[in-house]
Structure 1
Amino acid sequence: MITEWKNLISTLKPSEISMYLQTKGWRKVYNYEHNYGSIWRFTSLNEEEVEVILPHNQVLKDYKVRMIELFKSLEVIENRSMGSIINEINLSGVDVLRFRIASNETYSGTMPLIQATSLTKGVENTILAAACSTITPKSYFPRMAYNEARDYLNGCRMGQTERGSYIITVLSPLKTVSYAGSIFSEFEQDEIFERRVLFTLFNSLYHLRTALSNGTEVGIEETISTGVSANLCEALTLMQPENEVGKLEIGVSWAPIRPLQREIPQRKVIFEKSTFSLIKDYVKYLRYTAPIEEFELKGIVKKLDSTDASRGGRVSIITNIENKDRIISFDLPATLYQTAVTAHFNRSLFSCVGTLTKESKGYTLSNVTSVKIENELDFD
């Protein structure tokens, strides 16, 4: 048993144990020179005082001995096993996500291998989609290739499965911070990216479920700014229970060493099996209406509208999209507007690049660049 303790203790960092002691009411009363260690004191409810030594340097000869003494003291004071204490310390610096599939098939805590593979992929894509939406909310990400989002996903760890039908746990580590002075002095800074991703995830899940209840396109469009995307919805469908009366639960437990700076609507969101057909419809809708970046628009300048061409104006182009002639209007600054004037005067084919967005009344073009005249048309 002692050997097992040694192996478990060796995985812990002194800084993690120091933070744990502070959160449990221990006070650091002395620092040894050369950062060899520190003395911590705890006062119990009956006013009894206990002192332990926390070694700071893992290369010290008596490092493991001192650590075992420390954890034996914690075991007595907290009246629980050393293993549970070590496990809590391991999780004290991470937010924990829980993805639970509840159905007749998972009641025993197992599930078909193929479904488990789909579930794992769904978990991965759900987290990555939330990370991408944290950077830039969009209705659809063709690649989900943001470096910061990928780095965050690579830093997440798969935890031990838990009882309760079938539960996958994901550990989302928080960035290491210095706890000099007040133990919460660093929390006054802006929230770190890892925590903001989880805020985005649970905000989007909550608003998605609300939109599902309303069952309207307007509702789902309004959720895009909260982090809902076609990628997120598609990831959820990978995790749907096989049983018709099953459900998917997604919950979070926040790292105890880092208090929340803001709240989210709910820490657990539940999707019943019956909602997944709607979620699949939302995937199609969000993909279909997603803005197309770097879209090359070509057409004839149908109309110009400007009170002062030196300040730019509005251009209306007739073009063909989805095998149908459409008129798309957009504003251009003076430097680009003059090219449209020339194209209109010479009856030339006009082209530009921008972000094409499908809306209920047609299409719009924004962020227009690369305006040019393709060629003159011959009407003789």
Structure 2
Amino acid sequence: MSEPVPSVPIDELTTYLRLTSWAPTMSGSIAQLWSHPQFEEETLLVPLRSTASDYGKRMRILIQQLAQLERRDPQDIASEISLIYYDVTQLRADHPQLIDDSIPLDAGYQLFESARKIVISAAAATIRRQGHFGQSVPLKAREHARHVRLGQTRRGSYILPVISPARPAPPPLVDEQLHLDVNVEETLFDRRVMTTMARALKTLEEMVSRDRLPSSSEIADSVGEGVSRELCTALDSILSSTEISEIDFEFNWSRVSQPMGPEVALLTFPKESSAVVEHVADKLKTIRREREHVLFGVITDLHRGADEESRGGRIGVETIIERRRRVVWMELGEEAYQEAVRYHGSRTRIVLRGVLRMGRPATMDVSHFEPDYSLSEPSLLANPAD
């Protein structure tokens, strides 16, 4: 007997329909009709009142209709709609003697515990780059793990879905383009953490795929990509388990939020990569590298004296530190200063990495900065239905 098709929230449903090229053709107070250019003879009836007695029934009929048109399982479509505003990272643990999609209890416990530690380490690295956090993990990183969710385990080896919010932040008002909103920045933190996790794990995968151990300088550089001892030990605790032969990370990014860089799709760590991951973890405990903060902001001030031509200049960047707006000042060389001039002129937000000094004024020794497109709107949602 097949499982009953669940109802889904109306906001998630209409977002999914727009993303899959459906558009409303007629609208009333209790329902809408939607059409699709590929299915000219088909019309979807979308109920609008969740309090109506037949709301659940109408939704299930609609999902069944979508399943027939897309030739997919209704449960899969309902799940995709329900998770439209989330990033879902699937951790797949492979076991040589998998029985009915199950793994030994100890291995399962380790997978759940490591998933939590990986999320916390990624959140910590999103706040600041540090090779070894120890007891200095930011409180915000620990709190972040409390609202990341775990989905039901799925068939196909042993798959654990890690579900993180990815709702798009509302764009700032036109007359506030040069100022940051604390609540908007908080909304973006979830996607930034998942991006850090993907980049850090991608960096680790590249190191373990070589036919040699990574050098000390390569390991030190990996910190800038979000790699930390905590991330390595969490991953290694899974790989070193006698019951696990391979671990995969499959990133399913929400399509409603703008990508924050090249999107990572699938990363694989075979059991034999444990030695390299352990080596990186050991080195990160001893490598001396000044910790760097990561700041997201907008350039509000540009300054250089008449005698500083071709020698760079000083810029002020408005950012959010401990839920307060602050302007952080930094000295840049000529090439970087010219980039800052362009970003300021186009009102492009930036992400910076460097050593932060919280004085009056706050200053930063910048090691890297680049555009931050996290508030760009995905094109498919640029014209919402009336």
RMSD across aligned positions (CA):
3.4
Structure (1 or 2) with the larger CA radius of gyration: 1
Distance in structure 1 (CA, Å) of the matches to 2:55 and 2:2 = 14
Paired residues for 1:248-263 under 5 Å? 248-263=247-262
* Post-superposition CA distance 1:19-75 (Å, at most 9, x none): 01111222123443xxx44413213536324141331x3223443343344334334
Comparing 247-256 and 121-130, the one that deviates more: 247-256
Structure 1 counterpart of 2:153, from 147, 161, 176 = 161
Paired residues for 1:340-355 under 5 Å? none
TM-score w.r.t. structure 1 length? 0.64
Question: Counterpart in 1 of 2:383?
Answer: none
Structure 1 counterpart of 2:66, from 74, 77, 97 = 74
Number of residue equivalences: 280
Counterparts in 2 of 1:30 and 1:196: CA distance versus 1, 3 Å? same
Question: Counterpart in 1 of 2:328?
Answer: none
Structure 2 counterpart of 1:23, from 11, 19, 23 = 19
Contact 1:244 1:274 in 2 (8 A): no
Do residues 269 (structure 1) and 272 (structure 2) align? Answer: no
Greater length-normalized contact order (CA 8 Å, ≥ 6 residues apart) = 2
Contact 2:250 2:265 in 1 (8 A): yes
Q: Which runs of 5+ in 2 are unaligned?
A: 172-183, 292-355, 360-386
Question: Counterpart in 2 of 1:149?
Answer: 141
Contact 2:9 2:82 in 1 (8 A): no
Distance in structure 1 (CA, Å) of the matches to 2:243 and 2:72 = 41
Do residues 225 (structure 1) and 224 (structure 2) align? Answer: yes
Structure 1 residue 292 displacement after superposition: 8.8
Give the 4+ runs in structure 1 shifted more than 4 A: 176-179, 290-293, 366-369
Contact 1:208 1:220 in 2 (8 A): no
Question: Counterpart in 1 of 2:278?
Answer: 280
SS of the aligned residue for 1:134 comes to: helix
Distance in structure 2 (CA, Å) of the matches to 1:177 and 1:29 = 28
Question: Counterpart in 1 of 2:33?
Answer: 40
Structure 1 residue 253 displacement after superposition: 1.3
Structure 2 letter corresponding to 1:234: T
Paired residues for 1:97-246 under 5 Å? 97-106=89-98, 109-143=101-135, 145-175=137-167, 192-212=188-208, 213=210, 214-215=212-213, 216-240=215-239, 242-243=241-242, 246=245
Contact 1:129 1:232 in 2 (8 A): yes
Paired residues for 1:288-307 under 5 Å? 288-289=286-287
SS of the aligned residue for 1:50 comes to: strand
Structure 1 residue 173 displacement after superposition: 2.1
Structure 1 residue 234 displacement after superposition: 0.8
Question: Counterpart in 1 of 2:178?
Answer: none
SS of the aligned residue for 1:140 comes to: coil
Distance in structure 2 (CA, Å) of the matches to 1:2 and 1:61 = 24
* Post-superposition CA distance 1:213-250 (Å, at most 9, x none): 35211110110110011111111111115459922222
Distance in structure 1 (CA, Å) of the matches to 2:26 and 2:261 = 35
TM-score w.r.t. structure 2 length? 0.63
Contact 1:102 1:247 in 2 (8 A): yes
Distance in structure 2 (CA, Å) of the matches to 1:2 and 1:166 = 22
